[in-house]
Structure 1
Amino acid sequence: MQAEFIDSIDTVAPAAWQALWSTDYPFTRHGFLAALEHSGSTSAATGWQPCHLLLKQGQELVAALVLFKKLHSYGEYVFDWAWADAYQRSGLSYYPKLVTAIPFTPATGPRLGIAAGVDRAEVQRHMFAALKEKAQQWRVSSWHCLFPEPELSVQLQAQQFSRRRGCQFHWFNRGYENFEDFLSSFTSRKRKSLNRERRRVREQQIELEVRSGGEISDAEWRQFYEFYHLTYFKRSGRQGYLGPDFFPALAKTMPEQIVMVMARHHGDLVAAALNFRDRHTLYGRYWGCRAEFDTLHFEACYYQGIDYAIAEGLQKFDPGAQGEHKIQRGFTPVATWSNHWIADRRFRMAIDDFLQRENVSVEQYMASARGYLPFKQADAGSS
């Protein structure tokens, strides 16, 4: 097998790329990665330089690893700023580094695509050898695989790639017939609290609708992009990561996997939540609003998503990173994973020691968080 690093997803034909992935997970689709590049969101200038790793047998593409050369740690959602600081204090450079991740997308899923019938173990041997050789050539400090599927994460750990535990809050469909059926699993007090939040949205004369990508007009995409940036400005004082052409490009290449919740006040679009979907999961990704309305964020980002997942028979709703406020709304703590290879042996040993202690702390945090779930006792342990 021959390894090749490419600086653009356009190097690979869409059909050849898609043939490597056995799921319809939206964030490794050729169209998604191409939209990031074409909109200027991932480039050397933004510190997300594509360098995807391909494996070929002759002229046949047999595997691909999503890969970026990073000059910072923004947009990853697995925080290693302390590691970078330690490198700097030791007179070493932590950047550049190599990262296998979906930019700005903390959603667990496949990171390594392999053609049908190709030996997975052989692919991994060749890929990791190529990664380490390229890391030495480029003088990068490390390689990080963020939010991989648990199977890949365990395989990486078995090959001496350090494993880090994180925590998110996901909703699971336990065969609910509708939203009221879901709420019937809550304790009385928590059920009343959630109903009060939904009622408050209606009292403010806000109407909500759910659209697929093909039903969203160009003008509505422009409004959503405005909302997206306004929200980033409010939170961080700077613009969001994504370029203006990103969302319209996705609407053209993968409209069936886009689910937008729109909120209108007296007919005017005032907020929207953008989700993606595959056959099994709804992924909440971006939220933005023009004006603040009481409890609207919970309705648009969580309750409408649960409604949609139940109606579509989806198994899970992954609303994104962080957010302990999700617990009381029925989102269960789940473990997320990342794997790390540190070139410098001294730092690798120090980071491994840190991860052992951190993993225990995260596990304890998750156990404590489960105690705050709103479910009746009979439902509290199911997942």
Structure 2
Amino acid sequence: MQNQKFEIRIIPSLSAIAAQDWDACACPEAKSGGRPNDPFTTYRFLNALEQSGSVGVGTGWQPQYLTAYVGDQLIGVAPMYVKSHSQGEYIFDHNWAHAYERAGGRYYPKLQIAVPHTPATGRRLLVRPGFEEVGSAALIQGAVQLADTNNVSSLHLTFCTEEEAQRGEALGLMLRKTQQFHWINEKYADFDAFLASLSSRKRKNIRKERARAQGFGGDIHSFTGDDLRPEHWDAFWRFYQDTGDRKWGTPYLTRKFFDIAQATLRDDMILVLAERDGRWVAGALNFIGSQTLYGRYWGCSEHHPCLHFELCYYRAIDIAIQQGLARVEAGAQGEHKLARGYLPTPTWSLHWVNDKGFANAIDSYLKAERDAVDEEINVLTEYGPFKRAEIEERE
């Protein structure tokens, strides 16, 4: 297999490839009908982004999917995009772009291997089983060659797995370490068992928050699969627009995305909605992987104290415990998650920069940043809500 000749091809649309061929690389673990490790690199999710206009012309995310073949056999794929900005990535390189352009360079367009608008860790080098090492190398080398040949400023591979990060670093890419807050399921029997692992003060605070949230004057419902209805998406779209307007200026996803999601992704999602006086007033959308619940979007039309914590964090923990999932990833940023049982967890990305002098400067920065992230994780973990013995066991 080491002597196999690989051919790298670029396709501008997923319509040029069969869903089963893409998924044979992206989620081979789901071949027999089980859940993919995460739904975000599946054909159905990426195609929903493309077909809904959430990526493509005018979005700054122009698909250029990377594929690797041995003869006529597809052995690897990667969701790659030409980027004209750095929005929707969550591994921020705005300062790099500003420095590069102040020095007279042109930072955009750049190449991005990522799931658009999705700060969730998962495989980015999607290789058919049996081709893991050589297939990953072929995809990385193909992407770098494409960037170099086209004189693109840089290539970025974000929210990859730690294993991919190590392979990429060995192939000459620069390694970046950041962190998020994840909740880890220590095989808790129920939410009370989780609370029992916390310090007394944190346990009491969470109980107060949940009681306050649940007393908002209405009911909280969870919907998945065929229980999801268009009226649920109509309500959630209003919430999502409000959040998008406040955070990003304009929402990343289009309304059509949620219609396509209803048709093709409904079994991969759990939508938690709060109802008051016959109206939906708040909601949180989660995606389901084989071992992880991914908290993605939140929004509301009425403010009620602690309802955000209840829908986004505590209900996610409830769902994970009920479904036997190993963790909850609650998205980017947010040290307020620490007090609610979500601990700092490393996240990884890889970077290649065309200009050697600028690359050397970034490499020095990333080494210092990794040390700072390690220290931050240690400090935040020490201040976490768990009993001291519990923290020692986790370390």
Q: How high is the TM-score relative to the length of structure 1?
A: 0.97
Q: Which 4+ residue blocks in structure 1 deviate beyond 6 angstroms?
A: none
**Take 2:136 and 2:103, find their aligned partners in 1: how far apart are those partners?**
32
Offset of 1:279 from its aligned partner? 1.4
**Take 1:294 and 1:349, find their aligned partners in 2: how far apart are those partners?**
48
**Take 1:217 and 1:66, find their aligned partners in 2: how far apart are those partners?**
30
Contact 2:144 2:352 in 1 (8 A): no
Offset of 1:379 from its aligned partner? 1.0
- Between the aligned residues of both structures, percent identity stands at 39
Are 2:194 and 1:189 equivalent residues in the alignment? Answer: no
The within-5 A match list for 1:269-308 is 269-308=280-319
Cα deviations by residue, 1:37-56 (Å, 9 ceiling, x for unpaired): 11111113111000011011
**Take 2:128 and 2:180, find their aligned partners in 1: how far apart are those partners?**
31
CA RMSD of aligned residues (A): 1.2
Q: 2:80 maps to which residue?
A: 67
**Take 1:192 and 1:11, find their aligned partners in 2: how far apart are those partners?**
55
Contact 1:214 1:252 in 2 (8 A): no
- SS of the aligned residue for 1:270 comes to strand
Q: 2:392 maps to which residue?
A: 381
Offset of 1:128 from its aligned partner? 2.8
**Take 2:267 and 2:353, find their aligned partners in 1: how far apart are those partners?**
39
Contact 2:154 2:354 in 1 (8 A): yes
Offset of 1:186 from its aligned partner? 1.2
**Take 2:373 and 2:307, find their aligned partners in 1: how far apart are those partners?**
30
Q: 1:76 maps to which residue?
A: 89
Are 2:151 and 1:139 equivalent residues in the alignment? Answer: yes
Letter paired with 1:318: E
Offset of 1:65 from its aligned partner? 1.4
**Take 2:104 and 2:225, find their aligned partners in 1: how far apart are those partners?**
49
Deviates more, 1:57-66 or 1:283-292: 57-66
Letter paired with 1:233: D
Deviates more, 1:95-104 or 1:245-254: 245-254
Q: 2:105 maps to which residue?
A: 92
**Take 2:137 and 2:125, find their aligned partners in 1: how far apart are those partners?**
13
**Take 2:179 and 2:143, find their aligned partners in 1: how far apart are those partners?**
28
Are 2:348 and 1:343 equivalent residues in the alignment? Answer: no
Contact 1:143 1:342 in 2 (8 A): yes
**Take 2:60 and 2:247, find their aligned partners in 1: how far apart are those partners?**
21
Offset of 1:59 from its aligned partner? 2.1
In structure 2, the CA distance between the partners of 1:382 and 1:249, relative to structure 1 (3 Å rule), is farther
**Take 2:197 and 2:311, find their aligned partners in 1: how far apart are those partners?**
21
Contact 1:6 1:52 in 2 (8 A): yes
Q: 1:16 maps to which residue?
A: 21
Are 2:270 and 1:254 equivalent residues in the alignment? Answer: no
Deviates more, 1:330-339 or 1:226-235: 226-235
Q: 1:148 maps to which residue?
A: 160
Contact 2:287 2:296 in 1 (8 A): yes
The within-5 A match list for 1:363-374 is 363-374=374-385
Deviates more, 1:49-58 or 1:129-138: 129-138
Offset of 1:262 from its aligned partner? 0.9
Contact 1:280 1:315 in 2 (8 A): yes
Letter paired with 1:140: V
Deviates more, 1:241-250 or 1:200-209: 200-209
Deviates more, 1:98-107 or 1:227-236: 227-236
Q: 2:134 maps to which residue?
A: 122
- SS of the aligned residue for 1:73 comes to coil
Offset of 1:263 from its aligned partner? 0.7
Offset of 1:9 from its aligned partner? 1.4
Q: 2:3 maps to which residue?
A: none
Offset of 1:187 from its aligned partner? 1.3
Q: 2:8 maps to which residue?
A: 3
Letter paired with 1:381: E
Unaligned residue ranges in structure 2 (runs of 5+):
1-5, 30-35
Contact 2:125 2:136 in 1 (8 A): no
Are 2:345 and 1:334 equivalent residues in the alignment? Answer: yes
Are 2:67 and 1:54 equivalent residues in the alignment? Answer: yes
Query: Please, which of 313, 316, 325 is the counterpart of residue 327 of structure 2?
Result: 316
Query: Please, which of 199, 203, 208 is the counterpart of residue 211 of structure 2?
Result: 199
Offset of 1:91 from its aligned partner? 0.7
- SS of the aligned residue for 2:255 comes to coil
- SS of the aligned residue for 2:25 comes to coil
Aligned pair count reads 381
Unaligned residue ranges in structure 1 (runs of 5+):
none
**Take 2:229 and 2:138, find their aligned partners in 1: how far apart are those partners?**
45
Offset of 1:138 from its aligned partner? 2.4
Query: Please, which of 351, 365, 382 is the counterpart of residue 354 of structure 1?
Result: 365
Letter paired with 2:271: M
Contact 1:251 1:258 in 2 (8 A): no
Letter paired with 1:235: K
Offset of 1:266 from its aligned partner? 2.4
Contact 1:198 1:299 in 2 (8 A): yes
Offset of 1:234 from its aligned partner? 3.0
Are 2:50 and 1:42 equivalent residues in the alignment? Answer: no
**Take 1:45 and 1:92, find their aligned partners in 2: how far apart are those partners?**
23
Offset of 1:377 from its aligned partner? 1.4
**Take 1:41 and 1:350, find their aligned partners in 2: how far apart are those partners?**
34
**Take 2:188 and 2:171, find their aligned partners in 1: how far apart are those partners?**
40
